[in-house]
Structure 1
Amino acid sequence: MLRIRHKAEGKPGALLAERVDRPEPAAGELLVRVGAIGVTLPTVRKLWERGDGPVALGGEIAGEVVALGPGVEDFALGEHVTGLCFADAYAEFAVLSTAMASRVPAGVTAVDAVAVVRSGLVALGAYEAARPQLHESVLVTAAASGVGVMALQYARALGAGRVVAAVSSRAKVDFVRWMGADEVVRYADADWGGPYDVILDGVGGDLLAPAVRCLAPGGRLVAFSSGGGAVEAHELLLRGASLIGFQMRAVAAGQPERHARWQRELWQLYGAGTLRPAVHAQIPLSQAARAHALVERRRNLGKVVLVP
């Protein structure tokens, strides 16, 4: 089978295509014939990290279960699933832990599943972590990303009074309006149109501090990106505001019932047409470097998906 790994020189785009035997699932694992792989900015950023040899690329996958590991009884051969794979996700066959697996309803393509599920779960989890109230104002950064477009739609569906998208360029303005934003601001703007009751931050880094300054009294900012960043405690004290960190993996592993509830809510909203997947491009797995370059430069409108 085809598998893509990073060459571990610490350079973006240094990817290695290799032919290997397909893996075998261990206890508690599924072997999935991969139909789609979601490309995420955290995965691309990790390419700067050095290693002793080729580095496995984890990521979001969707596909068909073709083998069960010992003791697996909750899934069956032929079922379609999606989930986060921490080993070699960039491959024609991948091993997926049952704890991270979510069933895909009949009729949903692998591409749509990978565009909706992981990004949708992160968006829903981050929004719930903010403890939103009806009619509150919401700002979403990285609003044109896979998670961002889901967050815009969630905020709208769950009763936000005003939904504002923050993006990097004018080229994304019409797109995020189409995905549900009432208003759009750019990171370079002097005025971000605040204050906001809730901010969902998918960027971090240098944008974290100005985002905090846009919080309303008692506002909550949920940081879910891998971009880091720092804020002055004084800024939070001044507003009586909160900064909350959210990580999807911790919920999936430590709170399985909550994770399962979010999955059910996600598919209900998708089935009702409330959530729409947004796929910027479907790119062959063999051209993974091109997909990474697109995401790294933040030129995508929605999800970038690799197709084996």
Structure 2
Amino acid sequence: MRRIRYEVSGGPEVLFVEEVAAPAPGPGELLLDVAAIGVTLPMVRKVREGSEPVALGGEIAGTVVALGDGVVDFAIGDRVTGLSFGHGYAEQAVLHTAMASHIPSHAGFVDAIALVRSGLVARGAYESARPEPGESVLVTAAASAIGTLALQFAKAGGARRVVAAVGSAEKADFVRELGADEVFLYDDASWGEPVDVVLDAVGGALLTPAVRALAAGGRLVAFSSGGGTIEAYDLLVGGKSAIGFQMAVIARNKPSLYACWREGLWEMHAAGKLRTRIAAQFPLQDAAHAHALIESRRNLGKVVLVTERS
């Protein structure tokens, strides 16, 4: 089978295709014929900035072709999606059942990639802010896979005003179509009237204007891999709060909540209350082009790799 790997850190050009034997599922694991793979900014950053090469894991969706010992809730032929911590950029990949979920009949493999992981992070970040109906919400990276879903969660949750912050003017109409009432660029002098909640997927230098955008008593939820620093004084003024969110913490420590959120995503998707947006699909062997698109920050929605199994 084919998989994508790299041996030295760098840009998209370091990725290459190799032929390897299919992996074998261990206890509690599934082997998938992979149909679709999600490309994420954290993985792109690991390739460029990591101190040493790592397996290109992440979001995968496909059909179960083999079962490890002890698997009881899945069968060969099931369509599933989940988060792989091994080599996920591959025609076949291993997925632990704890991170796997069935794909309902109304959805395809690419739908699953665009919805599940991004939707879980979007919902988790939104819920972490403990929003109240009638509050205002600002979403950074609003045109990203997570951002597009966070905008919709804010609308569905009864926010009176949903604000999108994006990196370029070309993204404004796209996020308005998804429910943003106002759109600002990162380098605008002001992001408008202060908001009650900021969901920040960017981090770094953007944390300062994100805190500044909060109203008194407002909450910033930081869930970016981009790092950054918040000055304590900026929180003290106005009694603001900063909350860190990581989906893995929920998956490990609150599996029932994780499962509840996951099922809720599918229910909202089936009812037409959550719309996924696909920026581009690339064949597996063109993973470098997918990484380049993510690095350019020009994607509107999810970037997906597909195999011949799709």
Query: What TM-score does the superposition give when structure 1 sets the normalisation length?
Result: 0.97
Paired residues for 1:281-292 under 5 Å:
281-292=280-291
Name the structure 1 match of 2:36.
36
Verify the 8 A CA contact 2:12 2:289 in the aligned structure 1: no
Name the structure 2 match of 1:212.
211
Question: How far does the alpha carbon of each residue in 1:229-287 deviate from its partner, in whole angstroms, 9 at most, with x for none?
Answer: 10110111112111011111111122100100101111111011000010011100100
Amino acid at match of 1:46: K
Paired residues for 1:9-158 under 5 Å:
9-47=9-47, 48-51=49-52, 55-158=54-157
Are positions 1:254 and 2:248 aligned together? no
Q: What CA distance in whole angstroms lies between the structure 1 residues aligned with 2:77 and 2:164?
A: 39
Q: What CA distance in whole angstroms lies between the structure 1 residues aligned with 2:179 and 2:78?
A: 33
Q: Kindly, what percent of the aligned residue pairs are identical?
A: 63
Q: Say which SS state the counterpart of residue 119 (structure 1) adopts.
A: helix
Amino acid at match of 2:44: V
Verify the 8 A CA contact 1:36 1:61 in the aligned structure 2: yes
Q: What CA distance in whole angstroms lies between the structure 1 residues aligned with 2:11 and 2:135?
A: 43
Verify the 8 A CA contact 1:7 1:16 in the aligned structure 2: no
Q: What CA distance in whole angstroms lies between the structure 1 residues aligned with 2:161 and 2:12?
A: 38
Amino acid at match of 1:195: P
Unaligned runs of 5+ in 2: none
Name the structure 2 match of 1:223.
222
Give every structure 1 segment of 4 or more consecutive aligned residues whose post-TM-superposition deviation is greater than 4 Å. none
Amino acid at match of 1:186: L
How far residue 12 of structure 1 moved from its aligned partner, in angstroms, is 4.2
Name the structure 2 match of 1:192.
191
Amino acid at match of 2:271: A
How far residue 11 of structure 1 moved from its aligned partner, in angstroms, is 4.1
Q: Say which SS state the counterpart of residue 60 (structure 2) adopts.
A: strand
Verify the 8 A CA contact 1:65 1:81 in the aligned structure 2: yes
Verify the 8 A CA contact 1:185 1:192 in the aligned structure 2: yes
Task: Please say which of residues 166-175 and 8-17 is displaced more in the overlay.
Answer: 8-17
Q: Say which SS state the counterpart of residue 17 (structure 1) adopts.
A: strand
Verify the 8 A CA contact 1:13 1:292 in the aligned structure 2: no
Unaligned runs of 5+ in 1: none
